[in-house]
Amino acid sequence: MGSVSGQNRVVVGVDGSDSSRYALEWSANQAAGYGLGVRIVTAVWPPDSEGLFGEGVRFREGEETPREHDARALLAYARDWVLRLFPELDVETREVHDRPSQALLDAAGEPGVACVVVGSRGLGGLASAFVGSVGVELAAKSPVPTVVLPKSHETAEGRRGRIVVGVDGSEAGGRALDFAFRQAERSGAEIVAVCAWQPMAAFASSIGPVPPEAFDDEVVEAAARRTAEAALEEPKGRHPEVAVELRTVRAHPVVAMLEESTPADLIVVGSRGRGGFKGLLLGSVSQSVLHGAHGPVVVVR
């Protein structure tokens, strides 16, 4: 997330909830550390012209509606709050009349955006909350990495000690590794690469005949480690200063990732969109990690 390749701004969605305030603080910390600016986005949706059951509500032309008033007050407060913490930061605000997820997707698609950040739990109501479903849709569709943050005070200072990343030899996993190594090199963090494996015997009935060695846990673990080491070889060569610890864990990938991380760690996973609903569906691992993590999660498409 540095100011390389034309990247110059972090986009963050706010809705007045504690979760979005933490997302704002995390974004400001990252932007200040990497020489980026911040664009704060909130959405006015549904429009005040629609009543509770969709009937029209009249407002005089040019008159500020209640939702617009709330959104502008929220943006002004958020901007002032960030500038009190980081007076030199370049801060923009944007009020968008659209669904929250679409507002952030449009912002993420603009030139110079390094990542898009959102809280995982909104409150509803004020300026139309950026709720958990927004984070899932962003992670599935955003052209830049999506960062989803829960409400947490343990990571509010932007600790940079460990970056936990899943490694499985897949193309999606490779993109997650690339992001994790770049972030670690810029922040001085350690990479904890997690390769999860499970006994083949548990799947024998569903996949048909398997060779006898597949029932040997030591053989399966060794194969998993070889796959992980091969996947790590190229990014380690590009970032020789980054400390890397490889952990092979006998567990489901979701369990392995969550158990190896603490709320102070950054978790990086790859997205495996499966098509349908314009790519709304995430891979089961990335979506489950999003819902179960106690710290920030980056989903890299």
Does residue 14 carry a pLDDT above 70?
Answer: yes
In the chain, the N- to C-terminal Cα span, in Å, equals 15
CA gap 117, 181 in Å, rounded:
19
- pTM equals 0.81
pLDDT 10s digits, 69-94: 889 999 999 999 999 999 999 999 99
Side chain identity at residue 60, one-letter code: R
- Reduced to 3 states (helix: H, G, I; strand: E, B; else coil), residue 67 is helix
38: closest CA among 103, 82, 97?
A: 82
- Reduced to 3 states (helix: H, G, I; strand: E, B; else coil), residue 162 is strand
Q: How confident is the model at residue 190 (pLDDT cuts 50, 70, 90)?
A: very high
Residues 181/235, Cβ–Cβ less than 8 Å? yes
